[in-house]
Amino acid sequence: MSKILVIEDEESVRDNLLDLLEAESFETVAAANGKIGVEMAMSEYPDLILCDIMMPELDGYGVLAALRQEPSTSTIPFIFLTANAAKSDFRQGMNMGADDYLTKPFTRAELLIAILNKLEKYANLKKNLSAISNKLTPRMQLVLHQLKLAIKNKNFEDFDIYYQPSIDINTGKITSAESLLRWQNAELGRVSPLEFIPLAESHGLIIDIGNWVLKTVCQQMQIWQDIGIHNLTIAVNLSPIEFNQIDLIPKVIDLISSHNLQSNCLELELTERMIMEDMNLAIITMEKLRSFGVKIALDDFGVSNNSLMYLKQLPMDTLKIDRDFIQDINSDYRKAAITKSLIQLGHDLDLKIIAEGVETEAELALLRENSCDAIQGYIYSPALPALEFHKLLLTNKSFSV
Ligand code: C2E
Ligand code: CA
Ligand code: CA
* Tens of pLDDT, residue by residue, the chain (401 residues): 899 999 999 999 999 999 999 999 999 999 999 999 999 999 999 999 999 988 988 998 889 888 877 877 877 888 988 876 665 665 565 555 434 778 888 888 888 888 888 888 777 777 766 666 667 888 999 999 999 999 988 889 999 999 999 999 999 999 999 999 999 999 999 999 999 999 999 888 999 999 999 999 999 999 999 999 999 999 999 999 999 888 899 999 999 999 999 999 999 999 998 998 889 999 999 999 999 999 999 999 877 766 677 888 999 999 999 999 999 899 999 899 989 999 999 999 999 999 999 999 999 999 999 999 999 999 999 999 999 999 999 998 899 89
* 201 in contact with ligand 1, CB cutoff 6 A: no
Taking CA atoms only, the protein residue closest to ligand 1 atom 42 is: 237
Q: Which atom of ligand 1 is nearest the CA belonging to 376?
A: 15
Residue type, 165: P
What is the reported pLDDT for 58? 92
What is the reported pLDDT for 98? 39
375 DSSP β-pair partners? 167, 355
What is the reported pLDDT for 74? 78
* 359 in contact with ligand 1, CB cutoff 6 A: yes
Q: For residue 356, report the distance from its CA to the centre of ligand 1, in Å.
A: 10
Q: Which atom of ligand 1 is nearest the CA belonging to 162?
A: 25
Taking CA atoms only, the protein residue closest to ligand 1 atom 13 is: 357
Q: Could you tell me whether strands 174-185 and 189-191 are parallel, antiparallel, or unpaired per DSSP bridges? A: antiparallel
**Ligand 1 probe mutation, 156, 163, 178, 180, most atoms within 8 A of CB:** 180
The rounded distance, in Å, linking the Cα atoms of 122 and 260 is 35
Residues 6+ apart with CB under 8 A from 129: 201, 202
The rounded distance, in Å, linking the Cα atoms of 97 and 123 is 19
Q: Which helix H or strand E contains 147, and what residues bound it?
A: helix 138-152
The rounded distance, in Å, linking the Cα atoms of 132 and 401 is 42
Q: For residue 183, report the distance from its CA to the centre of ligand 1, in Å.
A: 13
Taking CA atoms only, the protein residue closest to ligand 1 atom 21 is: 357
Residues 6+ apart with CB under 8 A from 54: 60, 82, 83, 84
The rounded distance, in Å, linking the Cα atoms of 123 and 120 is 5
Of 7, 173, 153, nearest to 82 by C-alpha is 7
